[in-house]
C-alpha cells in the first residue's frame, strides 16, 4: 500500500472532503480557545449546510466501492492508521493539551493511546467477524448501513472520534465527521493521518462547525443513513428530532450521573482514593465519571477523611507541566456551569469537605476549578441529580444495602456504575440490580471490548468492541439460501 501525500497542507481554515483539503462555502470561522490561558490559539472554518451537502455527496459516491472493498484491505488501512496515531502520539497529545486543557501526562498516557486502541480493535475484529452465517437454510448477512454522520464531543476529542470512525469504516461504511467546535484541532490532525493511511477519497470526510449549523444539517440529511452522537442530553434530543423524518438510525451516548457504591465490607483505603480519582479523571469531564459515592453511614467519617485527603493532594495547574494531575476545565461555559453547581451545593446544605467555588489560588487566568468534595448529600439535591461535568464529588450515606441500590438507581441516567467490596458474590449481585449500561467491579482495567452505552436518558446503542461495530451494520435474511 502506498502512502499518498495531501495536495494542500493541513490548514485550520479548511475541511477534509473527498480525499483532499478544501475551503468552506462561506468564509466564516470559529475561534479555538486555550483554556489554560484564555487566549485564542486558532480559527477553524465554520461549516454550513452547503459544506455538509458536499461531504455527504462524497461519502455517498464512495460508499459502494468501499463496501465492496475486501475485508483484508480495510484491515490493512486501519492497521496503518493505528501505526500513524502511535507515530504521532506526541503531536496529538500536545494538541489535546492546548485545545481542551488535558494535563500533558494524562494526554500521553490515556487520551491518545486509548484512542489508538479503538482503531486496533476495529482492525482485529475484521479477522474473525462473520459477515454471513447460514442457519437452517437461511443466510443472515450483516451489511454496512451506508453513510454515517458522526458527531463527537469536546471532552475526549480524539478518543470519541476513533470510537466511531474506526468501527464505521471497518464495517464498510463511509462517514462524515463533525468534531466539537470547542476542541477541533486534534480532529484535523486525525484527518491528515487518515489521508496518509491511504483511505480512498470520500470514505472519510470532516466538516467543522456548530451543532446548529452542521450537526442539524447532518441529522436531517436524507442521504445520511445513520447518526451517532456523543454529547449532552439536549444535543442528543435535538439530533433525534431532526433525524426522525428520514427514519435514520440514531445512536446516542449522552449524559451520566454514575454511582460508586461502597459495600459494607469495602476496604476503604483501597476503595475511596481511587474512587475520588476516577470521579475527577479528565477534570471530571467524563460522562461515566462516578461522581456519586454511596457509602455506609456507619463509616462516613472514615470515607470523608480519605476523600478529603485524596482531593487535597491533587496538583491542579498548567497542563504543560509534567507534575500537573488536573488542568483547567475545557471551556468557559463549562467552567461557569461547574462554579454554579458548587454554589448550589452550598445553598442546598451539603457539607463541603474541600475545594469550593472560585478559581484555584494562584491562577488569575485559565478555567481552573478547585477539586471539590461534598458530603452528607441527599439524593434529592440537584448536585446529586444533575450532571456537573467537573471535579465535584458527592458522598451520599446509606443505612441498608437495599437503600444503597435505590440511591444508585435514583437518577434519570444509566450510563456507568461502580461497586466496591470484598465479597465478590455480593458485589456481583448488587451489580445486577443497578440500571446502567456498564458496571465496573473493584476498579478493573479498561477493556476496549466491553460494550459501552446507556440505559434511560443516557442514550441508546453501544460503542466499543463487537457491539459497537455491529451498530454500523444492517441485518439481511436470505431465505431459501440452501
Q: Which residues are catalytic?
A: 253, 287
Find out whether 272 and 251 touch, Cβ atoms under 8 Å.
no
The C-alpha cell at 333 is 461555559
The C-alpha cell at 20 is 483532499
Burial bucket for residue 441 (CB in 10 Å: 0-12, 13-18, 19+):
middle
Tell me which H or E stretch contains 179. Answer: none
Helices (H) and strands (E) in the chain, counts: 16, 20
Do the strands 473-479 and 138-144 form a parallel or antiparallel pair, or are they unpaired?
Answer: antiparallel
Burial bucket for residue 446 (CB in 10 Å: 0-12, 13-18, 19+):
exposed
Distance between CA atoms of residues 248 and 240, nearest Å: 9
Could you give the 3-state DSSP secondary structure of residue 62? helix
Find out whether 172 and 253 touch, Cβ atoms under 8 Å.
no
**Listed residue (276, 350, 283) closest to 306, CA to CA:** 276
Find out whether 38 and 332 touch, Cβ atoms under 8 Å.
yes
Residue for cell digits 446544605? 349
Buried/exposed 137-165: b ≥16 CB within 10 Å, e otherwise: eeeebbbbbbbbbbbbbbbbbbbbbbbbb
Distance between CA atoms of residues 177 and 192, nearest Å: 13
Q: Is 284 left (phi over 0), alpha (psi -120 to 50) or beta?
A: left
The C-alpha cell at 54 is 458536499
SS (H, E, C) 296-358: EHHHHHHHHHHHHHHHHCCCECCCCCCCCCECCCCCHHHHHHHHHHHHHHHHCCCEEEECCCC
Percent composition of the chain: helix, strand, coil (DSSP 3-state, to 5): 40, 20, 35
Find out whether 209 and 31 touch, Cβ atoms under 8 Å.
no
Amino acid at each position: 500500500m502506498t502512502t499518498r501525500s495531501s495536495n494542500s497542507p493541513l490548514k485550520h481554515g479548511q475541511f477534509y472532503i473527498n480525499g483532499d483539503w478544501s475551503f468552506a462555502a462561506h468564509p466564516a470561522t470559529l475561534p479555538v480557545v486555550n483554556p489554560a490561558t484564555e487566549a485564542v490559539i486558532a480559527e477553524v472554518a465554520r461549516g454550513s449546510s452547503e459544506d455538509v451537502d458536499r461531504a455527504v455527496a462524497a461519502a455517498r459516491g464512495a460508499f459502494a466501492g468501499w463496501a465492496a472493498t475486501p475485508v483484508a484491505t480495510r484491515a490493512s488501512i486501519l492497521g496503518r492508521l493505528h501505526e500513524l496515531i502511535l507515530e504521532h502520539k506526541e503531536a496529538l497529545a500536545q494538541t489535546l493539551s492546548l485545545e481542551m486543557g488535558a494535563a500533558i501526562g494524562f494526554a500521553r498516557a490515556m487520551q491518545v493511546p486509548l484512542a489508538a486502541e479503538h482503531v486496533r480493535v476495529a482492525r482485529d475484529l475484521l479477522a474473525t467477524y462473520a459477515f454471513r452465517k447460514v442457519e437452517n437454510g437461511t443466510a443472515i448477512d450483516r451489511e454496512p448501513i451506508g453513510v454515517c454522520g458522526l458527531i463527537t464531543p469536546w471532552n475526549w476529542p480524539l478518543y470519541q472520534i476513533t470510537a466511531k470512525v474506526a468501527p464505521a469504516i471497518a464495517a464498510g461504511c463511509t462517514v462524515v465527521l463533525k468534531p466539537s467546535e470547542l476542541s477541533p484541532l486534534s480532529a484535523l490532525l486525525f484527518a491528515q493521518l487518515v489521508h496518509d493511511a491511504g483511505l480512498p477519497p470520500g470514505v472519510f470526510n470532516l466538516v467543522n462547525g456548530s451543532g446548529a449549523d452542521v450537526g442539524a444539517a447532518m441529522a436531517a440529511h436524507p442521504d445520511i443513513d445513520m447518526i451517532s452522537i456523543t454529547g449532552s442530553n439536549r444535543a442528543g434530543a435535538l439530533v433525534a428530532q431532526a433525524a426522525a423524518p428520514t427514519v435514520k438510525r440514531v445512536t446516542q451516548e449522552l449524559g451520566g450521573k454514575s454511582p460508586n457504591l461502597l459495600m459494607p465490607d469495602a476496604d476503604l483505603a483501597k476503595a475511596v482514593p481511587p474512587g475520588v480519582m476516577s470521579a475527577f479523571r479528565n477534570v471530571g469531564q467524563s460522562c461515566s465519571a462516578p461522581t456519586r459515592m454511596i457509602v455506609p453511614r456507619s463509616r462516613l467519617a472514615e470515607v470523608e477523611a480519605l476523600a478529603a485527603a485524596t482531593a487535597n493532594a491533587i496538583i491542579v495547574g498548567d497542563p504543560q507541566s509534567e507534575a500537573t494531575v488536573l488542568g483547567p476545565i475545557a471551556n468557559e461555559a463549562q467552567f461557569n456551569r461547574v462554579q454554579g453547581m458548587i454554589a448550589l451545593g452550598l445553598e442546598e446544605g451539603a457539607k463541603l469537605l474541600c475545594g469550593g467555588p472560585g478559581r484555584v489560588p494562584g491562577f488569575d487566568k485559565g478555567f481552573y476549578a478547585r477539586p471539590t468534595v461534598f458530603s452528607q448529600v441527599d439524593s434529592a439535591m440537584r448536585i446529586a441529580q444533575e450532571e456537573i461535568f467537573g471535579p465535584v464529588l458527592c458522598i451520599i450515606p446509606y443505612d441498608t444495602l437495599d437503600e444503597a441500590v435505590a440511591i444508585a438507581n435514583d437518577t434519570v441516567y444509566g450510563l456507568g456504575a461502580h461497586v466496591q467490596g470484598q465479597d465478590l458474590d455480593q458485589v456481583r449481585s448488587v451489580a445486577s440490580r443497578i440500571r446502567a449500561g456498564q458496571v465496573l467491579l473493584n476498579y478493573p482495567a479498561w477493556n476496549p471490548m466491553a460494550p459501552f452505552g446507556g440505559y434511560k436518558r443516557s442514550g441508546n446503542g453501544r460503542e466499543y468492541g463487537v457491539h459497537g461495530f455491529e451498530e454500523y451494520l444492517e441485518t439481511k435474511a436470505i431465505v431459501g439460501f440452501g
